[in-house]
């Protein structure tokens, strides 16, 4: 499927990790590894620390980075332990926001969608609203085949950020694939591709929207270009075969 939000999640994560760097003196080497995307080296450095002389805030800082490292390495159960520490015991509001978002991300991709919705609803009830929250709620709804709810959440994301390509692409794909609104689907997918013309997922969505609108020629062009950018993506191959009758 080309409904996703992971790129936006990762951008938000790495931006925040650079902006909020308090209490890091004792773990600075690990933070430097993390900011350079050397996840394994960062994790090794963090785990080597003797925390017996750490202050409470320093322990929370370490837990925060351990949670992010484990997330980046796909070790989600380990990540949950540390992220939940920050959420339940931390005092930094922005850190708690980011950790709740990361928890929601983990819960979605590990098929614990109700738990993801719980974390996101907690954020909303605390007054936080962002395109990322609504995109994640939309993705959770999409996984549960609650397509109308998913579209409604993507609408809210676009109300906050009219140029949010994740919401444009994902809503366009749902509207096309489900037959809710083929015309609007094409318009949204075109706009997403205009903003990010080299994104294979967005080109795939656009190709599928053209197909649903009956334009096989343009659909084939978009899907072929998407395949050139991401030759190993199975969904693009599947869509191309549906549209053209040929295998890539």
149-171 pLDDT, tens digit per residue, is: 999 999 999 999 999 999 999 99
The reply to whether 117 falls in a domain is: no
Helix (H) or strand (E) holding 103: helix 93-109
Domain residue limits at 189: 163-248
Give the pLDDT of residue 6: 44
Residue 248: CATH number of its domain: 1.25.40.10
> Nearest-CA neighbor of 108 among 150, 66, 148, 69?
150
- The mean pLDDT of the chain is 88
> Nearest-CA neighbor of 212 among 245, 237, 189, 246?
189
Q: How many separate domains does the chain show?
A: 1
Q: Rounded CA gap, 166 and 171, in Å?
A: 8
Give the pLDDT of residue 162: 96
The reply to whether 217 falls in a domain is: yes
The reply to whether 143 falls in a domain is: no
**Is pLDDT above 50 for 70?**
yes
> Nearest-CA neighbor of 110 among 146, 77, 155?
77
Give the pLDDT of residue 23: 61
**Is pLDDT above 50 for 140?**
yes
Q: Are 5 and 170 within 8 A, CB to CB? A: yes
Q: Are 79 and 70 within 8 A, CB to CB? A: yes
The reply to whether 41 falls in a domain is: no
Mean pLDDT across the stretch 216-240? 95
**Is pLDDT above 80 for 4?**
no
Give the pLDDT of residue 90: 75
**Is pLDDT above 70 for 121?**
yes
Question: Of 128 and 192, which is predicted with more confidence?
Answer: 192
pTM: 0.72
**Is pLDDT above 90 for 130?**
no
The reply to whether 181 falls in a domain is: yes
The reply to whether 107 falls in a domain is: no
Kindly write down the DSSP assignment for every residue of 169-229, as one continuous string.
HHHHHHHHHHTS-HHHHHHHHHHHHHH-TT-HHHHHHHHHHHHHTT-HHHHHHHHHHHHHH
Q: Is 90 left (phi over 0), alpha (psi -120 to 50) or beta?
A: beta
Q: Rounded CA gap, 12 and 173, in Å?
A: 23
The reply to whether 95 falls in a domain is: no
How far from the centroid of its chain's Cα atoms is residue 23's Cα?
Answer: 27
The reply to whether 60 falls in a domain is: no
> Nearest-CA neighbor of 118 among 107, 109, 131?
107
């Amino acid at each position: 499927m080309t409904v996703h939000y992971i790129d936006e999640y990762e951008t938000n994560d790495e931006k925040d990790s650079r902006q909020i760097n308090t209490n890091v003196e004792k773990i600075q080497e690990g933070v430097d590894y993390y900011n350079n995307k050397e996840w394994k080296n960062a994790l090794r450095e963090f785990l080597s620390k003797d925390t017996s002389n750490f202050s409470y805030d320093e322990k929370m800082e370490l837990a925060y980075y351990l949670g992010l490292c484990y997330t980046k390495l796909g070790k989600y159960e380990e990540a949950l332990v540390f992220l939940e520490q920050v959420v339940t015991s931390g005092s930094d509001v922005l850190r708690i926001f980011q950790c709740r978002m990361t928890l929601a991300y983990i819960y979605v991709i590990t098929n614990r969608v109700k738990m993801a919705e719980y974390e996101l609803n907690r954020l909303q009830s605390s007054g936080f609203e962002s395109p990322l929250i609504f995109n994640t709620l939309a993705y959770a709804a999409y996984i549960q085949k609650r397509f109308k709810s998913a579209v409604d959440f993507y609408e809210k994301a676009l109300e906050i950020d009219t140029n949010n390509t994740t919401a444009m692409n994902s809503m366009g794909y749902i509207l096309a694939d489900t037959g809710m609104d083929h015309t609007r689907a094409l318009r949204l997918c075109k706009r997403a591709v205009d903003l990010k013309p080299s994104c294979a997922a967005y080109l795939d969505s656009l190709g599928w929207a053209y197909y649903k609108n009956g334009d096989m020629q343009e659909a084939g062009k978009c899907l072929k270009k998407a395949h050139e950018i991401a030759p190993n993506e199975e969904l693009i191959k599947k869509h191309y075969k549906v549209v053209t009758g040929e295998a890539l």
